[in-house]
Structures are given as C-alpha cells and as structure tokens.
Amino acid sequence: MLKYVASKAFESLALMVGVLVLVFFLVRLTGDPVALMVPKDAPDSQREAFAINMGLDRPVIEQFLLYVGDVVRGDLGDSLRQRRPAVDIIFERLWPTVQLALGALAFAVVLAIPLGLAAGMEPNGTWDKIARTVGLAGQTIPSYWLGMLLIVFFAVELRWLPSFGRDTAASLILPAVSLGFSGLGQLVRLTRSTVLEVRRSDYLRTARAKGVATTHLAFRHVLPNVAIPLISVLGIQFTYLLGGSVYIESVFAWPGMGTLLESAVRDTDFPLVQAITVFIAFVAISVHLLTDLLYGLLDPRLRIA
C-alpha cells in the first residue's frame, strides 16, 4: 500500500512541475505584454519603466527558476492590473466556484445514479430509453448555450429564477444545472454501462440464484460495485467542472474564478493568468491523487496488484 501511495504522490509532483514549465513558457510565447498594459499614447519612458518594474528585462530561464522558488513558497506573483498578490485575489473568488462545481456535481450525481441504475437493471425498458436520451443530450448540448436558453426560459419568460448573479440560494440552480448537464449525461451512461457489466458478473448470478429480491440486489450488490469506478470519474468530473465553469460563470455573472480568469486573459494580466492556471492545475492534480488513493483504499484488488 505504501508503495502505491508513494508512486501516486511522485506522479502528481512530476505532473505539477510539468504544468509549471508549460504555463510559464506558453504565456511568454504569445507576444509583448508591455504594449497591451500601457495606453496607446504612453511615452516610451513609461513603457520601459513598466517592463523593468515587472521583471521583464531578465533572461527567461532566470525568470522561470525564480518563479518556481516563489510558487513553492506560496507566492504566485502579483496581478499586473490589481497590483496585489494573485493568491489573495484567487482565494477571494475561490468559494463561489467551488460552490458552483459542487452544485453541478450534486445535480449530476443525484439524477445520474438512480437513472443509470434503473436503466441498467432493465435494459431497453422505459428508464433505459430515458437514460440513453439524457446521455446523448448531455454529450451534445453545449453548456454555454444551455445556460443562455435556461435564462431566457426560466428567468425572462417565467420569472421563476434570477437571470444572473449570486444573490439568493435560488441563484445557484440555473448555473449548476447548465454546468452539470454534460456531467449528468456522462455519468448516466457510465452508471448504466457499469450496472450492465455488474449484472453479468458471477457474484450477481449467484445472488440471484439464491433468490435475492431485485431491489435488494440493486442496492446491496450492484450499487457498491458501481460506486468504485464512479469515484474516479467523479474526481475527473470535478476538475472538468472547475475548468468549464469559465463559460458558465461568464454567462451567469457568477463571481468566481472563471470570471476572474476571463478578465485576466482579456487584460493580458499574465501573472494572474499564470497563477490561476497553476492553482487550478494544483487542485486538479490533488483531486486526482485523492481519488486514486480513495480508489486504492476501497478496492482491495488494487492494493494486492
């Protein structure tokens, strides 16, 4: 078990360093930030002072090594526009995004598992047909478009829900549904196929032969076995939601990291873009590590192998 944990931890660290390299160099390949952070009519002296102030006059390798040292110490740089530490800005906007991702995940899970279960237990039945339609819709409908449609229908036409913002508890509903919808589709399909697979297994045939009732079968034998592959998918889903939230937060004016990233990119505030990307990558890698470890804990077969 220890070897398992150690190897996963090492993998995660290597991934993290790779991300730092990629982010650092990519952002610098896209052009000259000075021209974009300073107004068109600014004198050359102001541009130069600006470049020196931001450390853009040093060789690139030196800039990178300094950067890694800072990251390890928790310093992700200062936002060019807001002139304060990027980490502070990130933590101000972190909770709304986590809230949105959790809400989307909850929406997806609460609907996907029962639906997938019902579908798998009775292939080609009504529930199965519904599940397959939902699965298809989730894969094909873009979340951004769905969000705008939901606003027009539920906010403007019906006036049931708010059209934007994070004012009341009800404000979470439309953004969470828009964000979680594709996850819902994916989870339904996964749950359904896992259920089908489990149903073909020996231990289930034995249980059925023993005369165990179907509902009992579903909850005590099928579901626990479905849960394990689901956990790793949920981990991936969560990080995907963190990234996908950029569109949804933009559409719903949800004040989270998505809108922060969007405005940082627009302002070519590259330290902030770098900081957010690194942070999200860090969260993603950590969640992956966690689900890998959880997976290892839950499934004894993995630990032995």
Partner 1 sequence: MISRLGRFAVLLVASLLTLAVAQDNVLVVSLSSDPTSLYLPRAADRTASNASHTLYDTLMFINESSELEPRLATAWEIGEDGLTYTFTLRQGVTFHNGEPFTADDVVATWEFGSDASNDYPGDYTAASSVEALDDYTVRITTAEPNALFLTTLAQDWAIIPGDYMREVGIDGFVQAPVGTGPFRFVSRTAGERIVMEANTEYWEPSLPYLDGIEFRVIPDPSTRVAAVQTGAVHIANRLTPELAQSLEGEDGVEVLTYLNDRVYYVAFKNVGAGVGTPLEDPRVRQALNYGTDRYGIIQAIFSGFANAAPGFVLEGNLGYDQALMEAFPYDPEKARSLLAEAGYADGFEIEMGCPADGYVNINEVCQAVAQSLSAIGVDVEVDFQTTNTYWSEPQYAVTGPMFVDSWSSDVAEALPRLQGALIPGAYYNAWEDVEFESRINAINTTVDRSDRAAQYQELHALMRDNPPFIYLYQPVIFEAVSSKVEGYQPLAAEEYFLRSVRIVD
Least Å from the CB of residue 120 to partner 1: 32
Nearer to partner 1, 46 or 206 (CB): 46
Nearer to partner 1, 53 or 214 (CB): 53
Nearer to partner 1, 70 or 92 (CB): 92
Nearer to partner 1, 162 or 235 (CB): 162
State residue 55 phi and psi, 5-degree precision: 75, 20
Least Å from the CB of residue 25 to partner 1: 16
Nearer to partner 1, 4 or 144 (CB): 144
Nearer to partner 1, 41 or 202 (CB): 41
Which residues of the chain form contacts with partner 1 (CB under 8 A)? 30-32, 35-36, 39-42, 44, 46, 81-83, 89, 92-93, 148, 151-152, 155-156, 159-171, 250-253, 255-256, 259-260, 262-263, 266, 268
Least Å from the CB of residue 286 to partner 1: 24
Least Å from the CB of residue 62 to partner 1: 22
Least Å from the CB of residue 188 to partner 1: 27
Nearer to partner 1, 119 or 248 (CB): 248
Least Å from the CB of residue 219 to partner 1: 26
Least Å from the CB of residue 156 to partner 1: 5
248: Cα within 13 Å, side-chain hemisphere: 32
Rg of the chain in Å (alpha carbons) = 24
